[in-house]
Amino acid sequence: SQELEQSPQSLIVQEGKNLTINCTSSKTLYGLYWYKQKYGEGLIFLMMLQKGGEEKSHEKITAKLDEKKQQSSLHITASQPSHAGIYLCGATPRGSNYKLTFGKGTLLTVNP
């Protein structure tokens, strides 16, 4: 089965600082998803990456998938308290678009 390793496990930053969260896979990634979860709530879809070298941005959040398709990063520019939460990367294996396996998540705290 596909295993996803996220780093760091937790992160505390000052408002306005940039930060990066990494997601590394033991196998080639065919579909890589980034979600955000507020404590005790459901997951909110952020972005999906499929192609090696692909990069997508939404507002101040940028996600990249490396050329070898085994590592993805999520970068937040000029962080705000509203960015606080748990960021989860998820992946689907080749041949299945339904079985989404998640990493353990990165807890982000943004101090005002």
Query: Which positions lie near another protein, rule CB under 8 A?
Result: 31, 33, 35, 40-45, 48, 50, 88, 92, 97-105
CB of residue 78 vs another protein: minimum separation in angstroms? Answer: 26
CA 41 → CA 38, 44, 64, 68, distances in Å? Answer: 5, 9, 26, 33
Between 43 and 77, CB nearer to another protein: 43
Between 45 and 68, CB nearer to another protein: 45
CB of residue 104 vs another protein: minimum separation in angstroms? Answer: 5
C-beta separation of 20 from 108 below 8 A: no
Between 79 and 106, CB nearer to another protein: 106
CB of residue 41 vs another protein: minimum separation in angstroms? Answer: 5
DSSP 55-80: EEEETTEEEEE-TTSSEEEEEESS--
CA pair distance 41, 25, nearest whole angstrom: 26
